[in-house]
Structure 1
Amino acid sequence: MAYIFLLQRQENQKLLFNAGIIIRVLLFLNLPTLSDDLYRFIWDGTLLKNGIHPFAALPEYYLDKNIGGISEELFSALNSPNYFTIYPPLNQAIFWLGAVIGNGDWLVSANVIRLILYGADVGSFFLLKAILKRNDKSSFLAYWYWLNPLVILEVVGNLHFEGLVIFFLLLGIYAFQKGKNIASAMGFGFAVGAKLLPLIYLPFLFLKGLKNRTCWVSILAGVIAIGTLLPMLSQSFVAGMTESLDLYFRSFEFNASIYFIARQIGFLIYGYNNIAVIGPLLSVLSLLSILSISIVGYSKKWSLPKTFLFVLTAYLLFATTMHPWYILPLIAFGILSGYWYPIIWSFLIFLTYIGYDQNGFELPMYIVVIEYVVVLSTMIIECGNTPIVPASADGSRGHSTNSNEGKSPFEGG
C-alpha cells in the first residue's frame, strides 16, 4: 500500500527518486536473505581469480585442492553443488571482480555485484523515462518500476541479473526507436550475453527490420552475444551449459502454470511425474508460441515493448519453473506498452516466497491457483479492453484511442 500511496505524489518526483535511492542503499548493509545464488557467484568468481575455468568441473572436485577462498563453508552454502554453473561469461567477469575486491569477505563481494546492478537499475529508470517521453506518454510512469518492491528486492537485494538484462533491453529499444541501429544491436546482444533468455526477442526484431532493411540488427545482436561467450568458449563450457540447461527443463519445477496442469494429467495417465517428457514438450510449444506472437506482432505493427511483453509472458506460462525475479522484465515492458497485469503479478508473486525453505522450494497449490487466476484474468480483461492500434513504422510513436493510455489503474481517469 505504501508503494501505491507514494506513487500518488506526482508533484514531488525528487522525493520519489530519493526514496528509491535510499531503499536500495540500505540493502548494501546485509547479504541477500531470500536467495542463495550469491554463493555460486562467489564460488565461480573465486575459481576465476585462481585461474580456473568455472565450467571445468563440479564444485565438489575443488574441495581438497587447497584453492584460496574455496572452503567447506562456501560449498555448503551452494544451492546446486551437484550441477555445473549456468552463468555466462559476462556475468562471470562481474563475479571475478567481486571475488578479487572482496578477497574472501562475502559481503564486500556481494556489494561489488550490487553496485553494478544498482547502476543498471538507475540506468533502466532513466531509459524508461526517455522511452516514455519519446512515445508521448507520461515519464512519471517510470516510477512504477523505480519504486516497485519486487524490482528493488530482487535486483539490488537478492542480486539477480534480470536487472542488468532489463537495462540492456531498454537500451536496445531506445536506440532502435532513435534509428541508432548499431547501439541497438549492442544493447540486445549484451542482454543475451547476460542471460540467454533474451534470444526469444530476436525473431520479432528480425521481422521488424524486414520492411526498412534493418533486420541485420538482430543478426548483429546475435553475433555480439556470441562474442560475449568467446572468453570462456570451450568444450567444457558447452558441455557444462548444455547439461545444466537440460537439467533445468527436465528436473526443476516451481510455481508453474501450464506445466502443473500437464503434470496432473500425467499423474492420471502414467501414475508418476513425467517431467522428463513434459518439460521438453512444453519447451517446443513455448518456441512455437514465441514465433507465432512475433509474426502476429509484426503483421499488426506492434511496438517492441508490446511484443516483448507477450513473448515473455508466453515463455513464462510454459515454463516448469517460475521464480519471482523472472517477471521483472514484464514490469518494464508493461509500463511502456500500457498493460498493468505485470504490476498486479509483482504483488501476487510475493506469496510464492512462502514456498522457499532450507530444503528447497515447494509451494502450496492454492497459492499457485490464486496467483494465476488473478493474473490471467487481469491480462484477459486488459487485452479485451485495449484496442489494437498500429504503431508507426518504427514502433516509436503509436497512439491509443483509449483515454486511460499511459495512466495507472490506481489513478483517476
Structure 2
Amino acid sequence: MMPKQDKTAVFAAGFIFFAGISATGLLIPRHHGWMLLFAYFSAFFAYIWLCKSEIKLTHLLAIGVTARLILFLGLPSLSDDLYRFIWDGALLREGFSPYAGLPAEYLSLGIPGVDQKLYDQLNSQPYYSVYPPLNQLLFWISTTIGTTWLTQANLLRCFFLMADLGSVYFLRQLLSHQKNHSVIGWFFLNPLLILEATGNIHFEGLVVFFILLGLYTLEKNRTISSGIGFGLAAATKLLPLIFLPAILMKKWLKEGATVTIVAGLVVSISLIPFVNSALLSGMQSSLGLYFQKFEFNASVYFLLREAGFWFRGYNIIGTLGPTLSVLTLLGVLGLALNGQRRKWPLSKTMLFSLSLYLLLATTVHPWYILPLIALGLLSGFYYPIVWSLMIFVTYFGYQEAGFELSTLWIVLEYGVVLSTFAIELIRSHEKST
C-alpha cells in the first residue's frame, strides 16, 4: 500500500497535471507564449512525477482519459486545422470533392455549411486539400452527424481517444516481457500526445495506433493483418510509407513483401473514390508547395538555408527541399540495411528512420513527433519524451500578427534533443558490447 505522504504527492501531481492540460488546451491563447510554456511545462513536470510514482495501471488510464475528456469542453485553442477538416467534410457531405478546387472556388456555390464564417477560419485558403482519404472519411462522419463546430470536433476526438486506448493495448502486448507498467504512463499521459491528438485533433494519434497494430500483428506472423495496419497508417498520413523498406528487409522476401504489397493495396483502394485529374493535380500542387515553400522548426535545413543565403544571396528552399527529400530516402534505405545487418528490432529501425526524416525535413510541427514516442518506448529510447517537452517552445513564436520564433529557441530545442539522443546511443552501445 502506498504511504499517505506518497498519496498526497500523487494527488498534488494529478491536480497540477489536470490544471496544466486545461490551461494549455482550453484557456490560454496561442500568442500568450510565456503563460503557455509555463502551463505546459507544469503539466510535463507533473507527468514525470506521476510516471515515476507507484500508481496502478487503472489509475494511470483514468488520469489519461480524464485529461482528454476535459479538452472536449472547448474548441482547439492551439491549432486552427480543425476548420479545414470541417470544410472538407461539409463538401463531401454535399457530394463535392474536397480535392477538386480551392476553398474560394466553392464559397460562392451556396453549399450548406461551406460559408464565409467558416472560410474566414481557414489557415489554408490558397491551398488544395492534402488530407488523405481515411481522414476525409472521418471528416464526413463528423460533419454528417454533428451540427456545430464543437460537436463535430468532439466526434473526431472520440476516434482519437479510442485510438490512444487501442495504442495502450498494443503497447502492453508488445512489451509483455516488462512487468513495470510505468512505460504505459510515459505514453498515455504524455502531455504532447494528449494536447496534439485529442486536443488539437491531429491525426498522428491515429497513425500511432495503426503502426502499433501493424507491429503487433507482424510479431504474431499475421502478415496480411500487419499490411492492413501499416496501410491504414499510410492512408491516414503518407509518411509511414518510409517504414516499408525496414519491414521488407527485416522479414526479407516472403513476409516482408506480403506486408508491403498489402499496405500498398490498402492505400491504393482508399484512393479509388477520389481518383481523378483534380485529385492528382491538386495534391501535386500542395505537396510541391510543402517541399518548396513551407519551413517551420527545421534543424539541418535551417543550417543549410543560412549557407545558401551566404553563398547565393537568397533562400534556396526550391532546390534544397527536394534534395533533402532524396537524402532522406537514401538514409532510410541505409538504415533498413544496417538494421538488418545488426539485427535491430524493427521498432528501432523505424524510430531512427522517422528521426532522420524529421531532422532533414523543412517543416517539423509538434504533432509530427508523436509516433516517435511510441517507437522510442518500444526500443528503449527516451529522447522522444525529451523532444515532446522541448518542441513545445515552437509555440513561443506565435504572435497576434503572425509567427516569428527566435533561432535561439530552435538551437535550444535541438541541442537538448540531440544531446539526449547521443547519450542514449552511447549507453545502448556500451550495453551491447
Instruction: Check whether TM > 0.5.
Output: yes
Please say if residues 125 and 146 of structure 1, whose CA atoms lie closer than 8 Å, have aligned partners that are also in contact.
yes
> Which residue of the other structure, out of 199, 219, 233, is the alignment partner of 2:241?
199
* Mapped partners of 2:68, 2:46: distance in 1: 16
Identical residues among aligned pairs (%):
49
Which residues of 2 match residues 210-229 of structure 1 at below 5 A?
A: 210=252, 213-229=255-271
Say whether 1:61 aligns with 2:105: yes
Please say if residues 209 and 216 of structure 1, whose CA atoms lie closer than 8 Å, have aligned partners that are also in contact.
no
Whichever residue aligns with residue 113 of structure 1, its letter is: L
Say whether 1:51 aligns with 2:95: yes
Q: CA deviation at 1:321?
A: 0.6
Which residues of 2 match residues 224-303 of structure 1 at below 5 A?
A: 224-303=266-345
The 1:330/1:137 distance shift into structure 2, 3 A limit, reads farther
Say whether 1:109 aligns with 2:137: no
Q: CA deviation at 1:316?
A: 0.2
Q: CA deviation at 1:138?
A: 3.6
> Which residue of the other structure, out of 298, 305, 329, is the alignment partner of 2:347?
305
> Which residue of the other structure, out of 202, 212, 219, is the alignment partner of 1:160?
202
* Mapped partners of 1:7, 1:136: distance in 2: 15
Please say if residues 88 and 98 of structure 2, whose CA atoms lie closer than 8 Å, have aligned partners that are also in contact.
yes
Q: CA deviation at 1:136?
A: 4.5
- Equivalent residue for 1:184? 226
Please say if residues 165 and 194 of structure 1, whose CA atoms lie closer than 8 Å, have aligned partners that are also in contact.
yes
> Which residue of the other structure, out of 137, 141, 149, is the alignment partner of 1:93?
137
Please say if residues 369 and 384 of structure 2, whose CA atoms lie closer than 8 Å, have aligned partners that are also in contact.
yes
Q: CA deviation at 1:205?
A: 0.7
- Equivalent residue for 1:355? 397
Whichever residue aligns with residue 339 of structure 1, its letter is: F
Please say if residues 90 and 228 of structure 1, whose CA atoms lie closer than 8 Å, have aligned partners that are also in contact.
yes
Say whether 1:5 aligns with 2:74: no
Please say if residues 247 and 260 of structure 2, whose CA atoms lie closer than 8 Å, have aligned partners that are also in contact.
yes
Please say if residues 254 and 361 of structure 1, whose CA atoms lie closer than 8 Å, have aligned partners that are also in contact.
no
Say whether 1:130 aligns with 2:173: yes
Say whether 1:24 aligns with 2:68: yes
Please say if residues 306 and 337 of structure 1, whose CA atoms lie closer than 8 Å, have aligned partners that are also in contact.
yes
Q: CA deviation at 1:137?
A: 6.3
- Equivalent residue for 2:30? none
Please say if residues 291 and 322 of structure 2, whose CA atoms lie closer than 8 Å, have aligned partners that are also in contact.
yes
The 1:31/1:137 distance shift into structure 2, 3 A limit, reads same
* Mapped partners of 1:131, 1:160: distance in 2: 25
Q: Secondary structure of 1:302's match?
A: coil
- Equivalent residue for 1:405? none
Please say if residues 93 and 143 of structure 2, whose CA atoms lie closer than 8 Å, have aligned partners that are also in contact.
yes
Whichever residue aligns with residue 122 of structure 2, its letter is: L
- Equivalent residue for 2:38? none
Please say if residues 38 and 159 of structure 1, whose CA atoms lie closer than 8 Å, have aligned partners that are also in contact.
yes
Which structure carries more helix by proportion? 2
The 1:96/1:211 distance shift into structure 2, 3 A limit, reads closer
Please say if residues 48 and 96 of structure 1, whose CA atoms lie closer than 8 Å, have aligned partners that are also in contact.
yes
Which residues of 2 match residues 337-352 of structure 1 at below 5 A?
A: 337-352=379-394
Whichever residue aligns with residue 81 of structure 1, its letter is: Q
Q: Secondary structure of 2:157's match?
A: helix
The 1:89/1:359 distance shift into structure 2, 3 A limit, reads farther
- Equivalent residue for 1:365? 407
TM-score, normalized by length of structure 1? 0.91
Please say if residues 132 and 138 of structure 1, whose CA atoms lie closer than 8 Å, have aligned partners that are also in contact.
no
* Mapped partners of 2:334, 2:103: distance in 1: 40
Say whether 1:379 aligns with 2:427: no
Whichever residue aligns with residue 352 of structure 1, its letter is: T
Which residues of 2 match residues 384-395 of structure 1 at below 5 A?
A: 384-387=426-429
Say whether 1:75 aligns with 2:125: no
Whichever residue aligns with residue 387 of structure 2, its letter is: W
Q: Secondary structure of 1:142's match?
A: helix
1:355-399 per-residue CA deviation (whole Å, 9 max, x = no partner) reads: 2245543321000000111111111111111038xxxxxxxxxxx
The 1:212/1:227 distance shift into structure 2, 3 A limit, reads closer
* Mapped partners of 2:202, 2:264: distance in 1: 23
Which consecutive aligned stretches of 4+ in structure 1 deviate over 6 angstroms post-superposition? none
Q: How many residues align?
A: 389
| RMSD, aligned α-carbons | 1.5
- Equivalent residue for 1:119? 162
1:263-295 per-residue CA deviation (whole Å, 9 max, x = no partner) reads: 000000111111111111111111111111111
* Mapped partners of 2:404, 2:334: distance in 1: 32
Whichever residue aligns with residue 198 of structure 2, its letter is: V
> Which residue of the other structure, out of 371, 382, 395, is the alignment partner of 1:329?
371
* Mapped partners of 2:70, 2:213: distance in 1: 27
* Mapped partners of 2:379, 2:213: distance in 1: 16
TM-score, normalized by length of structure 2? 0.87
Q: CA deviation at 1:350?
A: 1.2
Q: Secondary structure of 2:175's match?
A: helix
1:47-76 per-residue CA deviation (whole Å, 9 max, x = no partner) reads: 001100001110001111111111111111
What runs of 5+ residues in structure 2 fail to find an aligned partner?
1-44
